[in-house]
Amino acid sequence: MGLIDPEDPLCPIRAQAIPSVMEQRDEGMQDPLNETGISVTPILLKRHPDRCVFLVSSRCAMYCRFCNRRRFAGKGIDPEPYLEESFAHIEGDPYIREVILSGGDPFMLDGNKLWSILDRLRSMRKPLTIRLSTRVPVVYPEGLAGSHLKAIKSASPVWVVIHINHPKEITGEFLEAVCRLREAGGMLVSQTVLLRNVNDCPYVLRKLFEGLIEAGVKPYYLFQLDDVKGASHFKVRLERGREIMAFLRQNASGLAVPLYALDIPGGLGKIPVDKEHVEHLRNTTMVRLVSPSGEAGFYDDNAEESRCMNCGICKEDR
């Protein structure tokens, strides 16, 4: 809330955090990635043979208005009754080699609870890559407690994927949280969602990604918006996203260039948003997408035109 400019109707932080009447639109789906269909337990999702998503919390520090898990996050769902069943599946499945802690936000758990989950994973009879997805260092850095850092240190190395969308979110408090996570043994990367009138500007994203590199965080993913119900006003056309990526490749450090990816609706997996995988259908806004396994899916590329947010960043950079 402290980052929201009350005088700016286009404040990029306000747009992400405060509900809008535009969320009443009918476009999109409640579960665009068909996570319900890949649920091994109510809190364990397995789309790929070698990795799974473990929903250890349903609470977030901020409920992003474009969240693809709106059906789950903030609904008061308690993962506790399903933990043992989920641990048993992870340990018993010989193919699982990576566990992604998500939710909700794992850092919204009590630090001791997070420690117990990480310790249980590390004590399994097989090596695991552990990834933890979080927004806490960005929107609630004071919520990153010493007990959370002890949990990361005890299970190190842990890949910490920080969700951050705008250079205004790189604050002194954020940088301090990043430093503490790195000192605790966290391997830091970021993910960003491409959002209309928030960050759909090459200069804004260059400033964000190069700021992250300077802080020791590698930009990992730039995501095309999932087709979730209530978030269609944030959608950016694929062509615009590719233009931004072309600018970044030409004008930013290679370290600062993430993978531009789209999760195919229906749960067919992520693909890079390039011409090899994307085919626009004639006389329609739909695009045909081919998954890594060769399956075809479709995404509605219907979006309003991007506009200059008059944030001044592009003028500074030019």
Are the CB atoms for 188 and 235 separated by under 8 Å?
A: no
Helix (H) or strand (E) holding 220: strand 218-223
Of 251, 175, 247, the closest CA to residue 213 belongs to 175
Between CA 44 and CA 39 the distance in angstroms is 6
Of 128, 71, 139, 126, the closest CA to residue 103 belongs to 71
Between CA 221 and CA 257 the distance in angstroms is 9
pLDDT of residue 186: 97
Q: pLDDT tens digits for the chain (318 residues)?
A: 999 999 998 899 999 999 999 999 988 889 989 899 999 999 999 999 999 999 999 999 999 999 999 888 888 889 999 999 999 999 999 999 999 999 999 999 999 999 999 999 999 999 999 999 999 999 999 999 999 999 999 999 999 999 999 999 999 999 999 999 999 999 999 999 999 999 999 999 999 999 999 999 999 999 999 999 999 999 999 999 999 999 999 999 999 999 999 988 887 788 888 655 677 777 678 888 776 667 777 888 778 877 777 777 876 765
Q: State pTM to two decimals.
A: 0.90
Of 47, 65, 69, the closest CA to residue 57 belongs to 69
pLDDT of residue 89: 97
Between CA 259 and CA 272 the distance in angstroms is 7
Between CA 261 and CA 221 the distance in angstroms is 7
119, two tokens: 């310790």
- Domain extent listing, the chain: 12-317
Tell me: domain 12-317, CATH 3.20.20.70, correct?
yes
